[in-house]
């Protein structure tokens, strides 16, 4: 037996033709027996506790009903009972893979109501942490999706990089997840010494790591056959369903709130929006991989351009005074006391503050009645709205394609159920 060299293998990869799929599946015959199957809520391939009632004809999905609410935590009502500052940790736990985005939307809405300005350094730090969180969320997505598809090895590589990112979060804020780093008016603390050096190391290794994942998957025949050409959906239907984020961008619409309606200094950075052309599962995969690379670019630009200055607004009625002032200034002590016991009062009104998260548009609707506790907080979560697109996507496709599509949709049930 002759040795197979890498060159042979690579040339073999080039010859893979995945455009030849099985013929399009015919419509169901009138007397076909339909089987209704219950998937979940405890199921290894639904991403969290999602329950699907799938109506099958042999292996073809004819109908699908998602049933959610299995991790409904009543977060929106809990926050009504807490002051704005104390509500941030509760809001962070909604979409548990995008905690900085939850906090950003909530703090942004509060800052809009209060008309408080966030200093530039704080905005840059927020951008860095949000983009790191975006990369981390996409890494978990990639690992678990490929686990569903059977490419188990990718998971360990993704979690290796994820540990590096969580180390950075722990370095800057003390916690790996749900860090409570974003505060109303800025961020909790300045980054410690050595953090930027560690971040630069991460910026250097991350593009190579993404190339490693692509090496494993991009010309992998099984992954391509499962993702290429499966379950496409056009942009018009997606827009009608209110889908945003990488799902919409994979279908060809480059709508991204970071470019269209920038917030928190995103207009200072130069990055591209990856857009797909066919709207199938491969495009959803490719769009997210490229988004990770673009996020690394944003982090690098933000780190290079990080301005000096305060990291939180100096309006003492909103942000805690620095500790050393409590020993000398009576006013600082009173402000601290008021903020910790009652919290700041927010002028009455209603705002809706949307940001672009890893799954789409996160919007916080906040209504304040003038007291120190919010009167209504609603999170417009992208996974909740995107889940409505499952049926149009998988109708008349194989159940194996259903698994792939669910994986590529990246639903996070914490955000769906709140």
Partner 1 sequence: MPDAPGTELLAQDLREAHGDDAVVGTEFFRDKGAILIAPTAIGDVLETLRGKGFKHLMSVHGVDYYPHEPRLGVHYELLDRDALDRLAIKLRVPLDAPNVPSVTPAWPTANHQEREVYDMFGVVFDGHPDLRRILMPEDYEGHPQRRDFPLGGEPVLFTAAETAGKDYTIGADQPSGSEKAKR
Partner 2 sequence: MEIVKREKAGTPEDFRVRQLRAQQMLRGDLEGDDLEQYVQERVITTTLDRAANWARGNSLFPATFGLACCAIEMMSVVGARLDIARFGFEAFRASPRQADLLILSGRISIKMAPVVRRIYDQMLDPKYAIAMGACSSSMGVFNNYAIVPADKFLPVDVHVPGCPPRPEALMHGILKLRSMVHSDPTMGWRERYGAESTVEVLPDEGERLRAEHAAAVNVSDGEGFPGA
**Applying CB under 8 A, which part among 187-195, 348-356, 380-388, 409-417 lies near partner 2?**
409-417
140 binds, among partner 1, partner 2, none (CB under 5 to 8 A by kind): partner 2
Tell me how far apart the 2 most distant CA atoms of the chain are, in Å.
86
Identify the DSSP state of 325: G
Q: Classify burial at 286, counting beta carbons within 10 Å of its beta carbon; exposed 0-12, middle 13-18, buried 19 or more.
A: buried
Q: Classify burial at 23, counting beta carbons within 10 Å of its beta carbon; exposed 0-12, middle 13-18, buried 19 or more.
A: exposed
Is it true that the peptide bond before 41 is cis, omega within 30 degrees of 0? yes
Beta strands in 184-244 (DSSP E): 186-187
> Quick one: how many helices (H) and strands (E) in the chain?
17, 8
Q: Kindly tell me which of 94 and 339 has the beta carbon lying closer to partner 2.
A: 94
100 binds, among partner 1, partner 2, none (CB under 5 to 8 A by kind): none
Beta strands in 284-407 (DSSP E): 349-357, 360-368, 376-380
Pairwise CA distance, residues 286 & 212, whole Å? 14
Q: What share of the chain is helix, strand, coil (3-state, %, to 5)?
A: 50, 10, 40
| In the complex, least distance from residue 75 CB atom to partner 1, rounded to whole angstroms | 11
Q: Kindly tell me which of 43 and 376 has the beta carbon lying closer to partner 1.
A: 376
371 binds, among partner 1, partner 2, none (CB under 5 to 8 A by kind): none
Backbone angle region of 256, left / alpha / beta, with phi > 0 → left and psi within -120 to 50 → alpha:
beta
261 binds, among partner 1, partner 2, none (CB under 5 to 8 A by kind): partner 1
| In the complex, least distance from residue 402 CB atom to partner 1, rounded to whole angstroms | 19
159 binds, among partner 1, partner 2, none (CB under 5 to 8 A by kind): partner 2
Q: Which residues bind to partner 1, rule: CB under 8 A?
A: 68-69, 72, 74, 76-78, 80-81, 112-113, 115, 239-244, 255, 260-261, 349-352, 354, 361, 363, 365, 367, 375-376, 378, 380, 384-385, 387-388, 417-418
Collapse the DSSP code of 332 into the 3-class scheme (helix H, G, I; strand E, B; otherwise coil) and give the result: helix
Q: Does 160 bind partner 2 (CB under 8 A)?
A: yes
Candidate list 18, 25, 28, 41; residue touching partner 2; CB under 8 A: 41
Q: Does 416 bind partner 2 (CB under 8 A)?
A: no
User: Which residues ranging from 42 to 71 are in contact with partner 2 (CB under 8 A)?
Assistant: 42-44, 48-49, 69-71
96 binds, among partner 2, partner 1, none (CB under 5 to 8 A by kind): partner 2
Within 13 Å of residue 135, how many CA atoms lie on the same side as its CB? Answer: 30
- Each residue 139-158 as x (binds partner 2 by CB under 8 A) or -, in order, gives -x--xx-----------x--
Q: Does 197 bind partner 2 (CB under 8 A)?
A: no
Using alpha carbons only, give the angle 194, 196, 202 rounded to the nearest 5 degrees: 110
Q: Does 185 bind partner 2 (CB under 8 A)?
A: no
Collapse the DSSP code of 347 into the 3-class scheme (helix H, G, I; strand E, B; otherwise coil) and give the result: coil
Pairwise CA distance, residues 202 & 139, whole Å? 14
Pairwise CA distance, residues 335 & 379, whole Å? 30
User: Which residues ranging from 83 to 112 are in contact with partner 2 (CB under 8 A)?
Assistant: 89-90, 93, 96-97
Q: Does 255 bind partner 2 (CB under 8 A)?
A: no
| Interface residue list for partner 2 (CB under 8 A) | 41-44, 48-49, 69-75, 77-78, 89-90, 93, 96-97, 140, 143-144, 156, 159-160, 162-163, 166, 176-178, 413-414, 417
């Amino acid at each position: 037996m002759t040795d197979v060299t890498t060159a042979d293998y690579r040339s073999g990869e080039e010859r893979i033709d995945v455009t030849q799929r099985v013929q399009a599946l015919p419509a169901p015959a009138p007397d076909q027996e339909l089987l209704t199957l219950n998937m979940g809520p405890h199921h290894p391939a639904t991403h969290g506790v999602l329950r699907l009632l799938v109506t099958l004809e042999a292996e073809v999905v004819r109908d699908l009903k998602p049933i959610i609410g299995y991790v409904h935590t009543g977060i929106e009502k809990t926050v009504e009972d807490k002051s704005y500052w104390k509500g941030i940790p509760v809001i962070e736990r909604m979409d548990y893979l995008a905690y900085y985005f939850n906090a950003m939307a909530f703090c942004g809405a509060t800052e809009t109501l209060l008309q408080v300005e966030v200093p530039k350094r704080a905005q840059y730090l927020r951008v860095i942490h949000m983009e790191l969180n975006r990369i981390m969320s996409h890494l978990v997505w990639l690992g678990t999706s490929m686990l569903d598809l059977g490419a188990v090895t990718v998971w360990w590589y993704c979690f290796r990089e994820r540990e590096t990112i969580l180390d950075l979060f722990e370095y800057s804020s003390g916690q790996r997840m749900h860090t409570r780093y974003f505060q109303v008016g800025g961020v909790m603390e300045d980054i410690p010494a050595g953090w930027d050096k560690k971040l630069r190391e991460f910026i250097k290794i991350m593009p190579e790591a993404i190339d490693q994942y692509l090496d494993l998957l991009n010309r992998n025949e099984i992954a391509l056959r499962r993702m290429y050409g499966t379950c496409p959906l056009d942009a018009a239907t997606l827009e009608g369903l209110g889908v945003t984020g990488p799902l919409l961008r994979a279908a060809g619409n480059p709508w991204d709130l970071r470019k269209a309606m920038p917030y928190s200094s995103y207009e200072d950075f130069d990055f591209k929006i990856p857009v797909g052309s066919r709207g199938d599962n491969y495009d959803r995969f490719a769009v997210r991989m490229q988004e990770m690379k673009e996020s690394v670019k944003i982090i690098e630009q933000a780190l290079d351009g990080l301005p000096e200055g305060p990291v939180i607004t100096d309006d003492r009625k909103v942000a805690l005074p620095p500790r050393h002032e409590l020993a000398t200034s009576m006013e600082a002590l009173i402000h601290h006391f008021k903020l910790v016991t009652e919290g700041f009062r927010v002028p009455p009104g209603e705002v809706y503050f949307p940001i672009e998260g890893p799954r789409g548009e996160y919007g916080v609707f906040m209504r304040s009645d003038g007291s120190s506790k919010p009167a209504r907080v609603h999170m417009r979560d992208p996974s909740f709205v995107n889940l409505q697109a499952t049926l149009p996507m998988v109708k008349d496709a194989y159940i194996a394609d259903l698994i792939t599509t669910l994986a590529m949709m990246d639903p996070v049930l914490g955000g769906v159920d709140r």
